[in-house]
Amino acid sequence: MKKVNVLFSIFCSLLLSACDELNLGNKEAQPNSKEDSSFFYLLKDNNLALTQEKTVYVPVYSEVFVAGGGKLNLAITLSIRNTDFVYPLIVNKVNYYNTDGKLIENYLQVPYLLEPMASTYFFVSQTDDRGGAGANFIVKWATNKLANKPVIEAVMAGSTGTQGMSFMSSGREIKNGQQAVANNGE
């Protein structure tokens, strides 16, 4: 019986280490996918009373440094959650920047509407290392002034062999670039 347990353990170890280069590929970052098209869709008529517009900075990591000076690439899932029971959320922009501050990807060309209490996400594959250790997302959103603010955060996860890691990063409200210029000019 002991020999069977040892053989089973070796088999499981080999199986797990064989998953080292699992490549799921990038989900094409089209927000109107079949999965979420009923609650996150192109905004056609903007007749909503939008009086609250904000910009959120979300630090993310497409790679981290590990012991011995090596790097571990990470997959990134940016999650946008409408926390209001009544009012929809308008997502105007989702931009992905690298460590150098250069725009890598503009995920939304036009505004999208996210229904009350709904969530959507944008995915960057573990094999996509363009962001680097200092990557970030900028999310611009708008809603009614009475609505709750959305929760915008990222989950990073990666593995190699039998080693893995995952952690979260919360978005932080920042001044819109146009607001900052206007405030400095006063």
pLDDT band, residue 161 (cuts 50/70/90): confident
How would residue 118 be classed by pLDDT, with cut points 50, 70 and 90? very high
Give the CA radius of gyration of the chain. 20
pLDDT the model gives residue 176: 77
- Higher local confidence (pLDDT), 125 or 46: 125
Let me know if residue 107 belongs to a domain.
Answer: yes
Residue 59 lies in a domain: yes
pLDDT at 51: 77
> Would 146 be classed as within a structural domain?
yes
Residues 17-39: what's their mean pLDDT? 44
- Is residue 24 assigned to a domain? no
Tens digits of residue pLDDT in 53-66: 999 999 999 999 88
Mean pLDDT of 36-56: 73
Give domain status of residue 44, yes or no.
Answer: yes
Mean per-residue pLDDT over the chain, rounded: 79
| Geometric angle at alpha carbon 110, from 130 and 145, rounded to 5° | 105
Give the range of the structural domain holding residue 59, as residue numbers without chain letter: 31-177
Does some domain include residue 183? no
Which residue shows structure tokens 């960057």? 124
Backbone angles phi, psi at 114, to 5 degrees: -115, 120
> What CA–CA distance (Å, rounded) separates 95 from 38?
23
Residue among 139, 135, 166, 136 nearest 81 (CA): 139
Tell whether the model's pLDDT for residue 138 goes beyond 60: yes
Please, which residues have CB within 8 angstroms of residue 109's CB and are 6 or more apart in sequence?
A: none
In terms of Cβ atoms closer than 10 Å to its own Cβ (0-12, 13-18, 19+), residue 155 is: middle
What domain count does the chain have?
A: 1
* Residue 160: predicted pLDDT: 83
Mention every residue, 6+ apart, whose C-beta is less than 8 A from residue 139.
55, 56, 58, 78, 80, 91, 93, 94, 95, 152, 171
Are 78 and 122 a contacting pair, CB within 8 Å? yes
Q: d(Cα 186, Cα 169) in Å, to the nearest integer?
A: 34
Assigned domain for 13 exists: no
Classify residue 11: in a domain, yes or no. no
Give the pTM: 0.74
CA 16, chain centre distance (Å): 27
